[in-house]
A and B are shown apart, each in its own frame.
Chain A
């Protein structure tokens, strides 16, 4: 994988459903992986930054895992609520260029009441 790829592109779920998205990134020279939550008409807001293989982070109903060897991260939302509706972005960086950040195109989640 040369670029950062996110799937699915969009997702529609019912309130109360649990869901997950995938971020695939280059595993070579991996440095850091970020997840951001981006609501319409607002700025992206950091959810997690992960650097170590096997990292698991949690914030309320949202959690994320990281596999740096195979180059993927999962974001999980348990019991989705309408306020979880947003675009979720991931971004990765490498040791060879620590200042450079490459974003995926995002997964847009819509939670129906």
Chain B
């Protein structure tokens, strides 16, 4: 089944404890992206990648890192999480990296993160 998977789906952690949220897609998509969603707001883009080893900042990259060492995986790293990073996180992918956001994006199931 073609899908985007994220792990974990739920995570409660404490301030300063490094964590990684994994994202994997099995559709051979070139473009991948991370978003966060907060109450009353739409999705805000954190980072995106148009191909392997190519990553760039979205609108809210502070406090996050990403890497794209292989096409299928795009992990989101929080080196020192803080309470203001408590949010719902979505990973998404689309087929053509060069097309950027002109391609349909497929979203993962979401990861709900709470930082105490």
Interface of chain A, main secondary structure: strand
Chain B 49-84: CB-based contact to A (< 8 A → 1; otherwise 0): 110000010110000000000000000000000000
Chain A residues touching B, range: 20 to 34
Interface of chain B, main secondary structure: mixed
Shortest C-beta distance, A26 to chain B (Å), equals 13
Q: Is the CB of B45 within 8 A of A98?
A: no
Q: Is the CB of B48 within 8 A of A99?
A: yes
A71 interface residue per 8 A CB criterion: no
Residues in B with CB closer than 8 Å to A67 are none
Residues in A with CB closer than 8 Å to B45 are 100-103
Residues in A with CB closer than 8 Å to B35 are 103
Interface residues of A (CB under 8 A from B): 4, 6, 31-32, 34, 43-46, 49, 51, 89, 91, 93, 98-106
| Selected A-B contacts with CB under 8 Å, 10 pairs | A32-B100, A49-B104, A98-B100, A99-B49, A101-B48, A101-B101, A102-B45, A103-B35, A103-B43, A103-B44
